[in-house]
Structure 1
Amino acid sequence: MRIPHNERLSSDIDGDGPERTCILSGVAGSRDDFIRLAISPDGEVLPDALARAPGRGAWIAVSRVELETALTKGKLKGALARAYKGAALTIPNDLPGRIEAALTRAFTDRLGLEMKSGRLLVGSDRIGEHARMGKVAWLAHAADAGTDGSGKLDQAWRVGEDAEGTGKAGVTLPLDRTALSVALGRDNVVHLALTDSHAAQRLAVPLQRLLRFLGQGEKTGQNNGEGPAHAAGAPA
């Protein structure tokens, strides 16, 4: 059974306003902080990392560990069944892994686009020079970057931003240098920087989705005051 075309799903991407509600936790927040699940034509539940897939979708704001628990205990199946009002669905056992891969791809694709536009810098010397001149809007380091190299660039950034003594530092990415190098088609990518604040804002959405899913970001939103939503169709 498929959902009638004119039947709206309250947690769907097409809902009114920017706020969404997690079908598992009942937490409400910005759609930029949530992960959208979409349904393929044959009823398979799949990640929609960019939240652009056609059709109706459901939103989650839990970590991978929490999702794996919900999947094992059948809570995800129940939440999706309520959200889609009993439509026939198939939940792949490796859905958490697929979500992580999709979120990672969304982030690295955005990095690639910013590199093609000339707004992404790689290489310690180049980044350090721009940072000291106050021309870095965002700074990041590979997961396996050395503390000395990262610390020097963080310090250069603080100098350029007139933020010495604040502890301001680049973000440590959940990707090592090998993954970043493969994604960007460059050798030994350890440090990255963006020179444009708008580019940094564009990158923030996929990065924060990924970090939160991996349990490395801030918790999303706040509960609506009614405890965990028992109806997956809670307004979003």
Structure 2
Amino acid sequence: MANNENHGAVAPAPGTAPDQGRPGRHVPERKCILTGEHDTRASLIRLALAPDGTILPDLRAKAPGRGAWIGVDRAALETALAKGKLKGALSRAFKTGDITIPADLPALIEDGLRRAALDRLGLEMRSGAVLTGSDKISEAARRGRLHLLLHAADASEDGNRKLDQSLRVGQDAEGSDLRGVVIPADRTILSMALGRDNVVHIGVTVPASAVRVADALGRWCGFIGRSESASALRNSSAGSIGAQIEK
């Protein structure tokens, strides 16, 4: 069984996601109602007020009307919900105390982010941007054609290590700690998402697809507290050479 620590780095994905910004382009920011910190829309989660006063996650940030933004992980959100801090912050943001917060709001957000990430993988698979199978991934990695390398949560350490080495060869980064990212989905979940049998490793060969996948997975990993994976995925989305994780 693989170590589920989410060490990781990813191959470069030239270009950036629309919400992550490009040189010379202003990226709008929003403020987290719980921490007061500012960040990009892509890094925060929008909460919307339904007509009946229910607070619901608006993960695509498309719902009409006013919204409130949060930038905390699930554990912090659950604490804020239990202590009443979330209700107070939302009441101020929406200028009304007549709101209902579902007790399972953190679970609704996590489930939505998980579905969005897995759906994105499936879409990119159907577009031809995703490779599965260790041999195909290794060959593409050694040729420098991978822009994102992912490992299932239950992938073997040996399998991860071999593909990570192929990645370093292709990126001319031998001797570094450049490696793929272990994501919080096992091979059964990934196989269902991609419509393939026994998906243990995933390689993304198209830069724009790698950015979209990294964005979706990074939001999910960040919310569930997998900070190292989230950081590595954000670096990929921003077009970085890849995060080097200190041992």
Tell whether the 8 Å contact from 2:147 to 2:207 is kept in structure 1 after alignment. yes
Tell whether the 8 Å contact from 2:27 to 2:40 is kept in structure 1 after alignment. no
Deviations 1:10-49 (A, max 9, x none): xxxxxx9511111001111111111111222322211122
How far apart, in 2, do the equivalents of 1:80 and 1:119 lie? Answer: 40
Aligned equivalent of 2:156, options 143, 146, 152: 146
Which deviates the most, 158-167 or 179-188?
A: 179-188
Q: Which residue of 1 aligns with 2:218?
A: 208
Equivalences for residues 2-151 of structure 1 within 5 A:
18-86=28-96, 88-151=98-161
Q: TM-score, normalised by structure 2?
A: 0.79
Instruction: Please state how far the C-alpha of 1:65 moved relative to its aligned partner.
Output: 0.4
Q: In structure 1, what residue type is equivalent to 2:36?
A: G
Aligned equivalent of 1:178, options 188, 191, 204: 188
Q: Give me the CA root mean square deviation.
A: 1.7
Instruction: Please state how far the C-alpha of 1:88 moved relative to its aligned partner.
Output: 2.4
Q: Which residue of 1 aligns with 2:167?
A: 157
Unaligned runs of 5+ in 1: 1-15, 221-236
SS of 2:76's equivalent?
helix
Deviations 1:153-184 (A, max 9, x none): 01001111111111100111011111111222
Instruction: Please state how far the C-alpha of 1:207 moved relative to its aligned partner.
Output: 1.5
Instruction: Please state how far the C-alpha of 1:187 moved relative to its aligned partner.
Output: 1.6
Tell whether the 8 Å contact from 2:154 to 2:187 is kept in structure 1 after alignment. yes
Deviations 1:69-124 (A, max 9, x none): 00011111111000000152211000101100000111111111111110011111
Which deviates the most, 172-181 or 70-79?
A: 172-181
Q: TM-score, normalised by structure 1?
A: 0.82
How far apart, in 1, do the equivalents of 2:155 and 2:36 lie? Answer: 37
Q: In structure 2, what residue type is equivalent to 1:144?
A: D
SS of 2:227's equivalent?
coil
How far apart, in 2, do the equivalents of 1:127 and 1:159 lie? Answer: 13
SS of 1:192's equivalent?
strand
- Percent identical pairs in the alignment equals 58
Q: Which has the larger radius of gyration?
A: 1
Equivalent residues, number: 205
Unaligned runs of 5+ in 2: 1-25, 232-247
Tell whether the 8 Å contact from 1:50 to 1:106 is kept in structure 2 after alignment. no
Which deviates the most, 175-184 or 93-102?
A: 175-184
